[in-house]
Amino acid sequence: MTVLPDLIPGTTSVPFAHGLAAHGDRTAVITADGLVSYAELAARVDATARRLGRERRLVLLVGANTVDALVVHLAALAAGHPVLLVPGDHPEAVQSLIDAYDPDVVAYPEGGQWLLDERREVSAHELHPDLALLLSTSGSTGSPKLVRLSHENLQANAESIAEYLDIRDTDRAATTLPLHYCYGLSVIHSHLLRGAALVLTGLSVSDTCFWELFRTTRATTFAGVPYTFDLLDRVGFATMELPHLRYVTQAGGRLAPERVSRYAAQGRAAGWEFFVMYGQTEATARMAYLPPELAETRPEAAGVAIPGGSFRLRPLPEFSAPDTGELVYAGPNVMLGYALGPQDLGLGRTVEELHTGDIARRTPDGLYEIIGRRSRFVKILGLRIDPGQVEAMLARHGVTALCTGDDDTLTVAATDTATGASSDAHRIRRLVTGACGLPPRAVQVHVLAELPRLASGKPDYRAIRAMSHPAPAPAPAPEDLCALYALILDRPRQEVTPDRSFVSLGGDSLSYVEMSIRLEQRLGHLPADWHTTPIRDLRSPGREAPSRKRTLETGVALRAIAIFCIVGSHIHVFGIKGGAHLLLALAGYNFARFHLTTAERRERLRRVWVGIGRVALPSMAWIGFVMLLNDDYTLANLLLLDSVFGPEGSKTGMHFWFIEALVYVLIAAVALLSLPVVDRAERRFPYALPLTIAAIGLLPRYDLLGLPDRTQIPDAITVFWLFALGWAAAKSSSARQRLVVTVAAVATVLGFFPGDPGREAIVIATFALLVWVPTLPSRRRVNQVAGLLANSSLYIYLTHWQIFPLIDGFSRHLAFLVALLFGIGYAAASTRLMRMLPSLPARIRAGGSLGAWRSRFSSYPTVRTPSLPRSGCDRHSMTTGLKQGSG
């Protein structure tokens, strides 16, 4: 199916957008939800084009790396509606452009769906017939200055890129860059042109989830800006096995020649090509490329003009060297011109060739090298920033400032105010990083009594630029997110940089709960994939007061409910059982989520052993303390061996069966993963392996091995399958896989508690909730209470056996409340004690001290996001992005 040519009579459109159906049943888009064929994509594009109507209208599209956003974009291009693409992660920029251009239609996400807000049936603007796309020239500051691109621009640039990259219909490109960024958009256009597939995701290359998705989908290419390659160095890209990778592209700013050479050599050794490219939004993304065979020997060069384009050098008085001047580009991809407001949307071509503002020289072998810049625009970490727009943005916030920068740093000089220089500097840095998408380390703020001026009264930008120096940036404010991460995770402040994420910093299960609650209080919202999101990308949704409505992650809710029900059942306040078995499944879920990363085998095993210690050691410490007060427990309890050597008939010996079972199961998991063959199998078959282990675990569950009655053997043997099912749930990457895990849970839990169908129903229902429902509607106070219970669950479980008997004879309900409060207080006291001892050696703090345990043992059940295919990779983030006993 294809958009009918008479949809808007007399209007041209982009051929590759309305010719999608020609590629038939080939895969067009791959997401965590599944595959979309070209035929299916064409049908959706056609339906949306018809929805947009027969009258040309200006469509503002809030950019996102999702199928819905892609469909709206292609539908508008195919039907001839001009598209204004805006950054979806900057609400202020979106609103600024809505105010400036008054679009006829606004397409945006809300409540998990994409909405078309049709503000009028007929456009309020005069729209030139050639106008196809409007892109910002200044990043995400909401500047009204836009680049006007034609249908021919988009088609010509896509064809040129596809030609020199030799894009094939078998290629699969991972979207490492956002849709609203011209470089990222050109990746989409050029691959759709050739009938190739897009692996549509909003994940960063710093996330293990991205690489799991990359391998699983057999992706062949990805694109990066210079900052992308900083992240690649940190995540060990050079040692990754990516058998289907065919080529890597780089643009968006200058990559140091030595790094170009290194990546080119790395690609040559691994069998993939490295393309370094040069472009600007005004040329629909790309103007030059460096042939990969020259990348090792000529890494300093921008290369040659792309097919169909050409360069010339305009002489400049200040540059007398031969073959040096301002680089000027001509080609069919050069923009129509700029738009400063809606009155310019009716203009035709006002630009014939593009004066890039870059100083270049032509070498004897015909290559071009960029040696400087004329414009005030700067590219920092691959982001093009207009300092003038940053100044205007700060002015809107009541800050008088001057701004300039280079390829590494944006420098802001602002006047002092009565609130104090230090607080102003941190506030200004937050405003700038939030508006521009830069990490704090790339923004230097200087608060001065007076702004530097020349004798003429004009700003002295040279003096401001000189303020940037290699000295460390000012210490972060107490409210800085990096400081919060360092506090919660007990990490040295210098280790917590904006590029790190919760998972990469070694965050584990109970610290996840505390961190999620604190982050939601700070941000006013909590992204579903925040645990794998770099700190620099966590931003408040806007300046508005946060809504009182909240969501509570299902894992937090279930953990809080489980410990609540366990204690209440033991005190006989009510009889809701099954919580401990749910916690075992959650333990498996978190084991997969936090420990089965792309780290090498020894590092994996080390982290799991630390996790086991954080379960066992605080338990042994509490049991040992109680043994000093009474004789309820034996040495077997202290050593967590009661289920093996404990005396039969003991009424108190089985109090800690759950702890013992969890420790044994984790040790068994470590033993398995210590085998190289199993480690390799887990990396290659992340979903199939835990299902296989669960099947093996069902042998003792159904008494198929001739073992003694399950009351006579350690409980870990008979409940191991629950842990493995939770592990498999975390690795489920599709609805089909989640359905298989759910059916397996239903089939195997039934009959596990003879004569107690209510307990079986509770375990099944909560497990299904964990697998299928990522979040629950909530309120701020509910989140706080749930967070306290979940975060303190280990200490509540450990202490309630000794606390409630002290009050039980007086009031069961009071005993219930006191047992919960005592456990919460004990957890809080332990946490505070640890934070008062910052001088303890890091090794002691990480491995053995009571404070370091802080109820944060790695594999104990934790917060859940939507089903994760690997290494904490949830479905949502891939698209922008659980003994039988008395418990």
C-alpha 235/C-alpha 598 separation (Å) is 9
The count of other CB atoms within 10 Å of the CB of residue 596 is 28
Which residues of the chain register pLDDT less than 70?
1-11, 138-142, 318-319, 373-377, 416-423, 453-458, 469-480, 510, 524-525, 528-529, 539-549, 597-599, 649, 709-712, 831-887
Q: In what order do the strands lie in the sheet with 401-405?
A: 401-405, 410-415, 443-448
Alpha carbon 299 to its chain's center = 31
Beta-bridged to residue 311, according to DSSP, are 329
C-alpha 41/C-alpha 848 separation (Å) is 55
Cβ atoms of 872 and 594 within 8 Å: the answer is yes
C-alpha 724/C-alpha 698 separation (Å) is 10
Cα distance from N-terminal residue to C-terminal residue, the chain: 58
C-alpha 342/C-alpha 633 separation (Å) is 79
Convert 290-311 to b/e letters by CB count within 10 Å (16 or more is b). bebebbbebbbbbbbbbeebeb
Specify the CATH number for 378-466; select among 3.30.300.30, 3.40.50.800, 2.60.120.260, 3.40.50.2300: 3.30.300.30
Residue located via tokens 């790339």: 442
pLDDT at 662: 92
Residue located via tokens 């191991």: 720
Backbone angles phi, psi at 49, to 5 degrees: -60, -40
Specify the CATH number for 15-355; select among 3.40.50.1370, 3.40.50.12780, 3.30.465.10, 3.40.50.300: 3.40.50.12780
Q: What is the pTM of this model?
A: 0.52
712-721 pLDDT per residue, tens: 678 889 899 9
Strand ranges (DSSP E) for 554-643? none
Strand ranges (DSSP E) for 421-518? 443-448
Q: Where are the domains of the chain?
A: 15-355, 378-466, 484-547, 556-853
Q: Which of 349, 356, 354 is nearest to 151 (CA)?
A: 349
**CATH architecture of structural domain 484-547:** Orthogonal Bundle (1.10)
C-alpha 82/C-alpha 52 separation (Å) is 11
pLDDT at 383: 77
Q: In what order do the strands lie in the sheet with 105-110?
A: 113-118, 105-110, 59-63, 83-87, 131-136, 146-150, 337-339
Query: How do beta strands 549-553 and 368-373 pair?
Result: unpaired
For residue 28, the surrounding DSSP H or E stretch is strand 27-31
C-alpha 66/C-alpha 200 separation (Å) is 6
Say if 15-355 and 484-547 have the same CATH topology: no
In order of 80, 107, 191, the CA distances from 64 in angstroms are 21, 11, 18
pLDDT at 852: 29
Alpha carbon 37 to its chain's center = 26
C-alpha 35/C-alpha 482 separation (Å) is 38
Cβ atoms of 208 and 501 within 8 Å: the answer is no
